[in-house]
Structures are given as C-alpha cells and as structure tokens.
Chain A
Amino acid sequence: MKSNWNERLFGTPKFEPLVATSYLFPLLYLLFFLIIPVLAMLAIAFTYNGSLSLHWFREIFSFNSDYIKLPSTWSLFQSVKMPGTGETLYIIQGLDFGIVLNSIVVASVVTLLASLIGTIFAFLMARYTFPGKNLFRILLFIPLLVTPFVSAYVVQQIFSEYGVMSSILHALFGFRVRVDGLAGIALAQSITYYPIVYLNAYASFINIDPSLEEQAENLGSRGFHLFRTVTFPLALPGIAAGATLVFIFSLEDLAAPIVFHSNDLAKRIMSYQIFSKFLFGTGERSPLIAALAIVMLTLAIIAFLGIRKYVSLRQYAMLSKGGRWSPRVSKPRIGQALIIYLLLLPLLLFTITPQVGVVQLAFTEQHRVVTNVTDISASVAGLMYPTGPVANGTLVTPKGGWFFQGTVKGYSDSIGVINGSINGFFVGKVVVSGGKVSFLGNITYADFQGLASRYNGTIHTQMKGPLTGTGELLSDGTVNLTSTRFKATMFNIPAGKVSKFSFNYVKQMILTPDVRRYIVNSLLYSTVAVVLIVLLSITSSYATSRFKGALTPVLESIVILPMAVPGIVVAMGYFYFFHLVFPGTPLDPISPATFNPAYVLILAYSVRRLPFAARSVYAGLQQVHVSLEEASMNLGASRWKTVTGIVLPLISLNVFGGAMLSFVYAMSETSVGITLGSLNMAKAPITAFMKEVLLSAAGSINIAAALGVLLITVQIISIVLVNVITKQRYSFIGLS
C-alpha cells in the first residue's frame, strides 16, 4: 500500500475517523482558543498608524524609558520616621530598573531563592533519615496548597512594620522594618513557588540509581565532592525543569503585585502593568500593552523551550529503568543535625506561615480584650482654648486646666495604630514667647473616639498622660497645636470579643448571597472545564502516544504550550479575539450588556489547565502496551470498541488523577478570572472576588481568607481522593 496523506498526517494506513478526531479535536481547539487569540494580540502590537511597525517595541526597548532604565537610587532600603513614635523604619522595596527589567529581576531572584530552598529540602528528604522526618514530610506538604492573594497578603502582613519580623527587630534593636514593593513580591513568590522545585528535585534525587553514587564512592568520591560530581548533575534536569516553571509563574503572577499594589514600585512590573491597563477604555486597544504582553510571552516561551531542549538532551537512561531500588539514606552527623533542626526547621515553619495565616484569618475573630492600655505613643493636633488671654512669659494653667480638641494619631503594641478625635483638658506649665507657645504637663482627662488597627470596631474611651509640645498663638486667642507628643494611657476600653476561634467568616462566606454565587460560579466553570480537559487530554494523548503521523510532534508541543503562555496574555488575547470575532454576543467582553464570562472562563480554564491532565493521561497510556489494543482489534473489535473497552478502563485512574489536578488548579485560576471574569461580577469566579477585596478593599479580608480555606479544603479532598483511589502519589506539577 502506498503511503498517502492520511498516513503521513495521522500515522494510520487507512483513514480512521476516531484517530483523525483524536488529532484534530485538540489541535483545532487549541488553535482557536490559544494560538489565534494570542496571534490577534500580536497583530495589534505590530500595528502603528495602520501599518506594520515595530514602533511599540522600540518604545519598550529604548534605554532610559519607563521600561528599561537604571535605578535613580541604588540604596536597597530607605529609612523613614514612624508616625507618632518617631522610631526608625527601614523600608526594603527593591531597585527600579524599569518595568521590563523589574519583571526579569524579580523572576530571577524568585527562581534562585525557590531553587535553593526547594533543592535543599528535596535533598534532605531524599537522602537523610532523622527523628522528626515525618513532621518535615507533613509540613512540606502545606506550602503546596494554593491560596491566591490571601497567602501573599499574609506575607505582606508578616513583613509590615507592625508584623512579626518587625516586632522581633524592634524588640532586639529598636528599629522597625517593612518589606514592600518588588522585594515584597519576590519574597511572597519565593515562598509560594519553592514547592515546585522541591517536588521536581525530590523526584530527581529519588530516581538516581543508587549504584551510580555507590560506584563513585567506591572510586573514592565522598561528601560534597560526590554531590557536586555525580548526584547534583544527575538531578539537575529535574531541578532546572522546576526552576523554569517558577520563572514563568513568577513572571505572570498577578496575586503578589496586586496585594502589594499600594506601593508604587510594586506596580512597576509587567504583569501588573498589563493587568491594570488593557481592560481600561473598553473597546479601545492599547498596542503598547499588547507589545508588553508579547515581550512577556516571549520571555516565558524562551525559558520553556530552553528547558525542554536541555532536559531532552539530558534524559539519562537510568530514568527509564523500571527497577525498584531502596534509596540511599543516611543519618545526619552532628553538624548536619544542627543545620536541620536550627536552620531548616525554622525555615520550613516560616514557609508555611501563609497557609497558617490564611486559616487563622478565616477562623479568628479579631476583637481584643483590652481594658487599659498604657504604652501609647501619640501625637495630637488641634486647638487649645486658654481660660483667659495669655501674654509672654511662663504661666500655670488653672486647676481645671485648658480645654482642647483635635485629632490624635499614635501607636501601641497592644492595639496597633490608633487614629481618632480627642477632646479634653490640659493641666501644666505654659511658656509663651512672641506667638510661640510651649506646653509641659498632663492631659488629666480626655475623651477619645476613633479606630485602632488591632481592635475591631470603634473605640470610645478616656485617655490621660503627660504631654509636651509646641503651638502657635492665633489672633483669636486660641492656640494651634503643631507639634505635640503625648504618652497616653487609655482607660476602660470596652472588652471586645476575644480573638477566638469562630466560624463566623465561613458562615458569612456561605450565607452571603454574593459570595456564595462566586463559589457556585467557580465550581461550575471548573467542572465544565474539566469535562473538556478530560476529552482533550484523552484524544491528544491517544493520538500522540499511539501514532507517529506528521501531526504528532505538532500536537505534542501544542498541548503543553499553555504552560508557557502567561494567563494574562491568554486573557488579553481572548479580550481582543472574542470582541473581533463574536461582537455583541455573550463571548464579547466589550459588550457589557451581553457579556457572560462563563463561556470565556470555561474556555480559558480548559486551555490553561490542560497540560496537567494531559501529562497524567499520557503517562497512563505509556503504561498500556499497544499489544493489548492490537489483540482486541485482531480478535475483530473496532477501534471504538477497543478504545472504550480496553484503553479507557485501563487508564481510568490516570484520567481521574489528571482531572482532579486540573480541577484544583482551575478553581484557583487567577489571571483570566480576575480580568475578564470580573467584567460582570454576577458571573465572576472566587478569585475575582478575592482580587476585589485586596485591590479596592471591598469586602472583608477574612471572608477572602475563608475562600482560601475553601480552596485548601478542595485541594486536600482531591489529594486524599487521588491517593485512596489511584494508590498513586499525587503529582502536583511538573514539566516533561
């Protein structure tokens, strides 16, 4: 039989509708819902004044522009005075190299940190046995749980000037620290993404044939030399694969920049710029932003292709050897044990704080039991009313004191930042000299009404304490207080509800119709997307694992391509593409009257989360020997009957595992959900609501945290299900 176009394309000698569909369905799906939308954006970015042009790229790549420049200041931190107390506050926020370079610098720093932490923990868990290893195992599982926005929020709080880190430094050295801006983003992302390296590196270390290391030892290599010359090079492809994913994820991440958005430098990063600008002025496209998206896409794809090339060059044969070996584990020596317990355990505990913090936020009512607070450092501004005319010289206020009223700002360790109005009486010495008035005395009694950051609700109470300061004598005989320090004590603050465990926010999450709707939306979209993903991954994996047509390598690449396309790029591509092709329909994001994000989000989820399931299904198909299918067809069964009767039952567990993984990550999808998804809040997913909370302070962070806990719960349930049903270790995320 002559080879024909069918054999060349699909690898079957005769046309088989099922095989052709297996190729064409995923190919066309991804062509329409990934490639073409991205190309639509390309078309816009390369157009200037109606003709093909590199204009927008020239703008981006000109030195000393907003996009690429040298920092105006090279100092890594700024020091400012804290309001009220005057303590020194160091703000670490990173250097400004321009929007494009900032993204690259942050992604590189995150990749480096995450790789370092991930590899260390992976090596520890793969090669050492020590008391408490099971505790490490459990703890290492926690950072894998994904809670968009809220985990970055927790990191931000920990590193705020009143956070844990700052308080420790304050207690030890008397100054405070805030990590913010680009540095804050890098910190939050490193903690979020290091588990990706950990999982890949761990798998690599475990997969090294022990005889390779034993042979090296046998030849005299030992300790770090052994690690450097044998172990590490063999594990490097896995580590590099994980690191690359981290680089791409950091590049496209929106959650951390949004959480830190009140800092101006945090906004000067590609993902945030694209996010904040492409949706404004609906209908009017910004070619500059499209060009910026393409720069980001190009960076991600270069990283992705680079690692695929590298990993495929170093597919060591040992990985394909199926033998089960007992891994090499050893007991740590004293010095190593010290490192494990004194350095790595605290580091590990630190990296789980986001998840712990999310749970705490979700279940803790933050009212505090406070009756008297004695440590308030405050400043008062306002007007003082002398009991009579004042002249130059020193005088002592009458017994009842002078009345004053104004505002008070301050800080106390126990109730946080206070802010409110105050009126009361000053008793003490007053010195008047040429319009300047200085005070030295006490506020004997004052009424305070206002807020404290660590006290939920308004405080209405009394204050007193020593006051020093200066003011100006006004023409009407009153004194304007300009610089007044007040060491105050507050009395009888009503004891709020205890900071106690509470289901209130979870209850609110379920009972608030709006919030409940977001949950239902997310569940619905993710479920439908997973159905599509299952179809796509079965067809594509069947085609690529069984047939060697010319379309096989094309399909193989296109199925994993979504890993390399930043979500914000997908969102932007959809925005242009669906407006262009389906104007005025529910798919058109620019037509607010008709737009229904449901369709666009389902498409986006199914495309973006496809690689997770496709990998799992492909792995399953590789375990099923082709002869099992041939035997069936040889006995007279059709292709359809063979696939449904033999193949699908045999890969059902892989399909299930992959589907769960895709579902979990669809539920926490951020980029498209918070952009196109929030164009119609009635149809928006969970993440769109979380973004609203953090971006515009609409709604409570505690309810957002409760949603984070919901996501954690979904993840834990699916992990347990996958473990119990498939008896396989749940593979979170990887690249191969």
Chain B
Amino acid sequence: MVEVRLENIVKRFGETVALKGISLHINHGELFTLLGPSGCGKSTTLRIIAGLDYPTEGKVFFGDQDVTNLSSSDRGAVLVFQNYALWPHMSVFDNVAYGLRIRKLPKEEVEKRVKWALELVKLQGFEDRYPTQLSGGQQQRVAIARALVVEPKLLLLDEPLSNLDAKLRLEMRSEIRRIQRELGITVLYVTHDQEEAMAISDRIAVMNVGTVEQVGTPRGIYEHPKTEFVASFMGKTNVIPAKVTEREGDRVTVEFESFRLEGLTYSGEKDDVVIVIRPERISLHPVEDAITLEGTVDLVEYYGFFVEVIGVFGERRIIARTISTREVSGIRPTQPIKFYIRRDDILVLPKQL
C-alpha cells in the first residue's frame, strides 16, 4: 500500500506527445480512476506507473521513493492487463504462482498463498484448468488473483471490464470494489466508461489529449465539471455555445440564438462560453428561480422508466429527461413546449473546443 505521486510527466513517442505534463497524487488505500476517451493518454500513464514505459520527462514517486528509473520487475506495482495476459501454456495454479516462484518462496507458502488468492476471487478448484478452458470472467479473476497474490504495493487495472459482457461487467465491478475494500490496497483503475468510473471510484481524474482536466470525487466531477470537456464527457448533457453579454461581478447575462439568460454565475474571462445543462435537471413544470425556454417538441424518445423530450429552441436542440408518467406520454412532436431550468443547474463554462 502506497501513495503515488506523478510530477510533471511528459511522454513523447517520436514526434507525437502522448502526455503533456501530468501531475497526480493518489492516496493510500484509495481506488483512483483515470477516465478519458481512447487516445487520451490514460493507458500510457498507467504503463509509466507500472514501469513498462518510461517517461520522457518528469518523476514517479511511490511514497518518498523515486521509482522513475526502476524497472517494472522491481517496482511492485502490478498490472492486470486489458486482455488479462494469462500464459496459455500454464495452468491456473502456475499462472498465479508465477510471481511467488520468482520471489523464491518455499513450496508450501506458494501453495498457501495461491489458495488464498483463488479463494479471494472465488475460483477454488480451478487450479488445474488452463486459461483456454475458462470463461472471460474467470480468466479475469485469475489475472486479478495473479496480481494480488504477490501483495502488490499498488494494483493497476487497465480497462479490466472491457472484454466482458454487460451483466458480467456489473458483477465484476462490485467484485473488484469488494476485494479492494477487503484488502485495503491502493488501486489505480483505467477506463473510458464514465458510468463505471463513477460507480467504482473514490476519486477520478478525467484526462483529455495528454492532460488531466479535473480530479475529484465522482459526484464533484459530475455536478461541478470545471471544463466543457469534462461536462460533456460525463454523461449525456446539453452543451450550448453562447456569449456573455453583460457582467456584474460573477453574475452574468448569457445569450444564445434569440434567448437571453439572466442572473447566471460565471467568473471566467472569456466571453465565448458554453451553457451546460444536464437533461435530468430540466423540468417540464414551473419551478422556483428558473429560466423558462419556449420552443417546440421535435422528438420524444421512450426509454422505459424515463423519457427524453427533445425540444427545438430557435435552431438549437435541447434534451430534457424525465420520469415517464402518463402525462408525459401525451407529448407529441411539433406541439409547443416550455423547459424550466433552475439557475443553479445552469453551468457556464469557457468555450474550449
């Protein structure tokens, strides 16, 4: 168990810059997630922490120890690969025992700890199977057991659920969370799935094109995104380009199309902004301290327990999400509609892209 610090990590592959100076601090016993679209540099960051790649600039610390130049085999940061990387020529037992044998543990100790690890991932009795005889979920448990059995300082998980089907993914997600809590180890988790990240993480770092955009708790990031990218990446959201037309301290008036939204909060310098509104924060009924947008219904999409109403406001389409009630089922395209949004629920962020 260890605290991990990255200081200004830059990674160049030839001409391309994969990481543009990343600094992160991961606490003891924390499940920390790197979240971002593919190509954002999250896997590279993970590999640098694992010692499988070396940074071009910057330093990696485990606690107070500078491990930047330490080889992967000497770091004790064990990685569970996206494809599990189980050795097909070894049985489950031999796969899990590998790291222990490298450490030259006595035979009885090896057997004891392999047994412990396989019990932890609920694979007792699978010792003699070969990886090809296991299902995807079982293979992944073996990979996790193989990593945990050596008592890593830090467990690294690279998109561990991406090769599993939807149901198994949910199961393994809580399983990973359970094991992490049980052992109290530090886990660094990499994923591109924001829902997964929010469900599992203590804290999340959202990454985009080689930089960290925001670090925070799942709730903090979802509800208070600091950038347009984070806002739009975390779940379905309405992002509307707009212009600040009046300022009074951090109270501003913002305009888009022919709509004028007064009394919003914004302290940025740029006048080119985006308005971010979560679909579920739009009401179809009048609410307090709200801004009202009048438009027409374009489309109603039925998702079972909720419904999305897509309204057109000038040229702009805005999505509202609401519980599917009998009342809502009466809404038809082309009929006029009003969206009510509390001022608190409207985020104004500097335009980024």
CB within 8 Å for A631 and B68 given contacts A1-B56, A641-B102:
no
> CA–CA, A649 to B68, complex, Å?
32
Cα A82 to Cα B68 with chains together (Å): 88
A-contact bits for B16-56, CB 8 A (1 contact / 0 none): 00000000000000000000000000000000001110111
Q: Is A632 an interface residue (CB 8 A)?
A: yes
- Report whether B98 and A634 are in contact in the complex, using a CB–CB cutoff of 8 Å: no
- Give per-residue flags for A1-43: 1 if the beta carbon is below 8 A from chain B beta carbons, else 0: 1110000000001100000000000000000000000000000
CB under 8 Å from chain B, chain A span 621-677: 625, 627-628, 630-638, 641, 646, 649-650
Given A1-B56, A3-B56, A13-B54; A638-B85 close (CB under 8 Å): no
Q: Tell me if B146 counts as interface (CB < 8 A to partner A).
A: yes
Whether B146 and A627, one on each chain, are in contact in the complex, defined by CB atoms closer than 8 angstroms, is no
Contact, CB under 8 Å: A630 / B79: yes
10 A–B contacts, CB within 8 A, in A order: A14-B69, A630-B85, A634-B73, A635-B102, A635-B147, A635-B150, A636-B74, A636-B103, A636-B150, A650-B89
List chain A residues, Cβ under 8 A from B55.
Answer: 1
Question: Does B306 lie at the interface of the complex (its beta carbon under 8 Å from any beta carbon of A)?
Answer: no
User: Which residues of the partner chain A approach B79 to less than 8 Å between Cβ atoms?
Assistant: 630-631, 634
Contact B83 A630 (CB under 8 A): no
User: B71 within 8 Å of A by Cβ?
Assistant: yes
Nearest first, the 6 closest Cβ-Cβ pairs linking A and B are A635-B99, A627-B85, A631-B85, A13-B54, A627-B81, A636-B102
Min CB–CB distance B114 → chain A (angstroms)? 13
Given A630-B85, A637-B98, A641-B102: A14 touches B68 (CB 8 Å cut-off): no
Contact check, A625 vs B99: say whether CB atoms are below 8 A apart.
Answer: no
CA distance A636 to B101 in the complex (A): 10
The chain A residue sitting closest to B81, CB to CB, is A627
C-alpha spacing A295/B85, complex, angstroms: 51
Contact B81 A631 (CB under 8 A): yes
Is the Cβ of B99 less than 8 Å from the Cβ of A1? Answer: no
- For the complex, what is the distance from the CA of A255 to the CA of B102, rounded to whole Å? 55
A630 touches B81 (CB 8 A): yes
Contacting B at CB under 8 A, from A466-514, are none
If A649-B89, A650-B89 touch, whether A638 touches B81 (CB-CB below 8 Å) is no
CB <8 Å contact, B72 and A633: yes
A632 to B79, CA, bound (A): 10
Find chain A residues with CB under 8 A from B76 CB: 636
Quick check: A634 and B72 within 8 Å, CB to CB?
Answer: yes
Q: Are A650 and B99 in contact (CB under 8 A)?
A: no
Q: How far is the CA of A633 from the CA of B82 in the complex (A)?
A: 16
State whether A634 and B102 are in contact (beta carbons under 8 Å apart), knowing that A14-B71, A625-B83, A625-B85 are contacts in the complex: no
- Beyond A630-B81, A635-B78, A637-B98, 18 extra complex contacts between A and B, CB < 8 Å: A1-B54, A627-B81, A627-B83, A627-B85, A630-B50, A630-B79, A631-B87, A632-B98, A633-B52, A633-B72, A634-B51, A634-B73, A636-B73, A636-B102, A636-B150, A638-B73, A650-B87, A650-B88
**Could you say which residues of chain A place their CB within 8 Å of the CB of B146?**
631, 635
Distance in Å from the Cβ of A545 to the closest Cβ of chain B? 17
Hey, which chain B residues are within 8 Å of A14, CB to CB?
69, 71
Chain A residues in 8 Å Cβ range of B82? 627
Number of interface residues of B (CB under 8 A): 30
B304 to chain A minimum Cβ distance, whole angstroms, is 36
Inter-chain contact B71/A633, CB cutoff 8 Å: yes
Q: Looking at the complex, which one of A2, A627, A634, A641 makes contact with B78 (CB distance below 8 Å)? A: A634
Across-interface contacts of A630 in B (CB, < 8 A): 50, 52, 72, 79, 81, 85
CA of A632 to CA of B55, assembled, Å: 21
A628-B98 contact given A1-B55, A634-B79, CB 8 Å threshold: no
Q: Complex Cα distance A100/B306, Å?
A: 83
A9 to chain B, nearest CB (A): 15
Q: Give the complex CA separation of A695 and B77 in angstroms.
A: 69
Q: Which residues of A contact B88 (CB under 8 A)?
A: 650
- Distance between Cα atoms of A3 and B69 in the complex (Å): 13
A13 / chain B contacts, CB cutoff of 8 Å: 54
Closest chain-B Cβ to A642's Cβ sits at a distance in Å of: 9
The minimal Cβ–Cβ distance linking A118 to chain B, given in whole angstroms, is: 37
Question: Closest CB-CB distance, A614 to chain B, in whole Å?
Answer: 23
Query: Chain B residues with Cβ under 8 A from A637's Cβ?
Result: 73, 98-99, 102
Q: How far is the CA of A309 from the CA of B50 in the complex (A)?
A: 39
Which of A2, A631, A637 neighbours the largest number of chain B CB atoms within 10 Å of its CB?
A631
Inter-chain contacts of A650 with B (CB < 8 A): 87-89
- Assembly CA distance A3 to B82 (angstroms): 28
- Name the CB-closest residue of A to B156: A634
CB-defined interface of B279-302 with A at 8 Å, one 1/0 digit per residue? 000000000000000000000000
B87 and A646 form a contact (CB under 8 A): yes
Q: Which of B71, B88, B147 gathers most chain A CB within 10 Å?
A: B71
**How far does the alpha carbon of A2 sit from the alpha carbon of B11 in the complex, in Å?**
11
Least CB distance from A655 to B in Å reads 14
CB distance from A136 to the nearest CB of B (A): 36
A197–B55 alpha-carbon span in the complex (Å): 48
Hey, which chain B residues are within 8 Å of A632, CB to CB?
A: 87, 98
Smallest Cβ-Cβ distance to B53: which chain A residue: A13
Q: Which residues of B contact A641 (CB under 8 A)?
A: 102
- CB within 8 Å of B: which of A434-483? none
> Shortest distance in angstroms between B175's beta carbon and chain A's nearest beta carbon?
20
Which of A637, A641, A649 has most B Cβ within 10 Å? Answer: A637
B-chain residues with CB within 8 Å of residue A633 when the two chains form the complex: 52, 71-73
B52–A636 CB distance below 8 A: no
B78: A residues at CB distance < 8 A: 634-635
**Contact present for B87 and A628 (CB under 8 Å):** yes
Question: What CA separation (Å) do A495 and B217 show in the bound complex?
Answer: 104
A323-B99 Cα distance, complex, nearest whole Å: 35
Q: Which of B68, B89, B147, B150 contacts A1 (CB 8 A)?
A: B68
Which residues of the other chain, A, contact B54 by a CB distance below 8 angstroms? 1, 13
Q: Shortest distance in angstroms between A656's beta carbon and chain B's nearest beta carbon?
A: 14
Q: How many Å from the CB of B228 to the closest CB on chain A? A: 34
Query: How near does chain A come to B31, taking the closest CB pair, in angstroms?
Result: 20
Is the Cβ of A1 less than 8 Å from the Cβ of B98?
no
